[in-house]
Amino acid sequence: MKKAYIFPGQGSQFPGMAKDLYENNPLAKEMFEKANTILGFRITDIMFSGTEEELKQTKVTQPAIFLHSVILAATLGESFQPDMVAGHSLGEFSALVANKTLSFEDALVLVSKRALAMQKACEAQASTMAAVLGMDDAKVEEICATITDDIVVAANYNCPGQLVISGTTSGVTKACELLKAAGAKRALILPVGGAFHSPCMEPARVELEAAIKATNFKTPICPVYQNVNAKPTIDPIEIQKNLIAQLTAPVRWTQTVQNMTADGATNYVEVGPGKVLQGLVKKISSGVESVSA
């Protein structure tokens, strides 16, 4: 019987997030104030009192979700005993703090740089993502591969029957039409600012690579199952390499949860805002427990 801690990615933010944590826990308050200093602006003001629109700015969204997740994990104290960890996209950075691969401060700096680099890449090219429902993963991949004059790839393997594609706006639009014609229940363009986890993020990957390589990665206290290959590792060099590749590679969440369950995870604890990952876990692995921290 093993416990897996999982950490959400972009899209889980909401106005007022982590306010109770800040007000009721001295450790949380101290960590949030340290984050305000590191970031150079009071992100807590936006998290606790900002509008949905203000929270949607990438430079705010990613650090906000990261902070909520990591600080909540820190306040769990001795009850936080992970056998394994994983995070969805941005959540992988939270997971790497939770298993002590990265320090809180170093990871926050990387998350902030990642958010700004991704924002820049989004502005450089008209790109988007779309959710494809009710179609086999292999069929979605096959249809995307027929579009050779544009960029469109599988980006998030969220759960069986739910795959997100990513690429140039024209490429994703073409793919949606083909997917619906081939029998997908839905192929719905998402309200996102760009093509995350696709070749469109290459400029951001290059920018982040230098920062990741300059950061100290330690041997973790438990394995992390990484997005790029869905496999467990405790090797700091491999973790670093996979984290660099993550920006342009797909998030293999379905495969990650399948592998964690196969390796003995019976209890999944989602740490951070929202309950998105709990829902996905239940669709991927029946018979496991999935709760909020």
> Of 208, 214, 190, 189, nearest to 248 (Cα)?
208
Question: Is 112 noted as a catalytic residue in this protein?
Answer: no
Distance, CA of 38 to CA of 230 (rounded, Å): 31
Secondary element (H or E) of residue 199: none
Secondary element (H or E) of residue 154: strand 152-159
Of 112, 197, 198, 285, which residue is the catalytic one? 197
Distance, CA of 27 to CA of 220 (rounded, Å): 22
Describe the chain by its helix, strand, coil percentages, rounded to 5: 50, 15, 30
DSSP states of 21-65 as a string? HHHH-HHHHHHHHHHHHHHTS-HHHHHHH--HHHHTSHHHHHHHH
Contacts (Cβ under 8 Å, ≥6 apart) of 39: 63, 108, 112
Which amino acid makes up residue 173?
A: T
Contacts (Cβ under 8 Å, ≥6 apart) of 101: 217, 218, 219, 220, 224, 236, 239
CA 192 to chain centre: 14
Please give the backbone phi and psi of residue 265, each rounded to the nearest 5 degrees, phi first: -70, 125
Of 12, 69, 88, 89, which residue is the catalytic one? 89
The count of residues in the chain is 293
Question: Is 49 noted as a catalytic residue in this protein?
Answer: no
Catalytic residue list: 89, 197
